[in-house]
Amino acid sequence: MRNFLFAAAVFLSFPALAGEAEIRHAIEAKLGGGKVDEVLATPIPGVFEVRFQSREGVQIIYSDAQGSYFFTGHLIDGAKGQDLTEERLKKLSAIEFKSLPLDLAVKIQRGNGKRTMAMFTDPYCPYCRRLEQTLLQLDDITVYVFMYPVIRPDAADHSRSVWCSKDRAKAWLELAANEKAKVPTASANCANPVDKVLELGRSLRITGTPTLFFVDGERAGGGMPIGQLRVKLDEAAKQQATKKN
């Protein structure tokens, strides 16, 4: 549980070591050729954050000063109630929103569209469908939908048909947000970006849907309650406005 200093602690014994180089060596020996990106001190004396990449993306574990023991889990600032590990992972997994190839996405706009986000989503992912229904309750929003059909690859043509539809936004919502999915009648044979989006998602290490990206670059996995989503959209929009000024 995240209320503990280190959740799900795992201890891996190594010969007594000392220093950043030794910590790197000890962990890399366990990564099968993987490399440690960074070793940093934490607010706890003698405990270090160790960052590396895996197939799931950025990973953080913790080490003692000698590199003898390693811990997995979340580091909590008890006084402030902050999940320091989660904050670091959000920062490390962030992207430049403007780097996303938005021309590969279905654009859905309501109201003035001033609040913007992108999402990688599969129409047959239950959490994605729930999120789509949540988004329908928000006004003044622009959503860039990157169709990422990984749950049912055999139904990827349904996403291709969305792109081939005259009204892509309408076709997507009927497929992904209706209580019962309505498969588009358009052909799936037009030039479409689905394969490119699948490649893009892999390059961004997206392993689950939905995955959201906000204009401040922050990434979020899974669905979000409407209140939390509204607050995040507003915060990200304000940060972007501040940067432009």
User: Which of 2-6, 163-167, 199-203 is predicted with the least confidence, judged by mean pLDDT?
Assistant: 2-6
- pLDDT-derived band at 27 (thresholds 50, 70, 90) equals confident
C-alpha to C-alpha distance for 236 and 221, rounded to whole angstroms: 16
Residue 181 above 50 pLDDT? yes
- Of 200, 196, 207, the C-alpha closest to 58 is 207
Here the tokens at position 235 are 């915060």
Tell me what the mean pLDDT of segment 41-49 comes to: 89
**Per-residue pLDDT at 9:** 36
Q: What pLDDT, on the 0 to 100 scale, is given for residue 92?
A: 83
Q: What is the pLDDT of residue 57?
A: 77
Are the C-beta atoms of residues 194 and 156 closer than 8 Å to each other?
A: yes
DSSP string, 13-51: ------SHHHHHHHHHHHTTS--EEEEEE-SSTTEEEEE
**Mean local confidence (pLDDT), 106-116:** 95
Give the pLDDT confidence of 92-103 residue by residue, as tens digits. 888 999 999 999
- Residue 199, classed as helix, strand or coil, is helix
Q: Which pLDDT value is given to residue 185? A: 95
Query: Does the pLDDT at position 121 exceed 60?
Result: yes
Lowest mean pLDDT among 15-24, 78-87, 147-156, 194-203: 15-24
pLDDT in tens, 131-166: 999 999 999 999 999 999 999 999 999 999 999 999
Calculate helix-pair angle for 226-244, 126-135, nearest 10 degrees. Answer: 70
pTM for this one?
0.76
CA pseudo-torsion sign 127, 132, 138, 144: positive
Q: Which domains does the chain have, with CATH numbers?
A: 20-92 (3.10.450.70), 97-244 (3.40.30.10)
pLDDT of residue 25: 82
Query: For 55-77, what is each residue's pLDDT tens digit?
Result: 777 889 998 877 778 888 899 98
- Angle at CA 118, nearest 5°, toward 117 and 120? 150
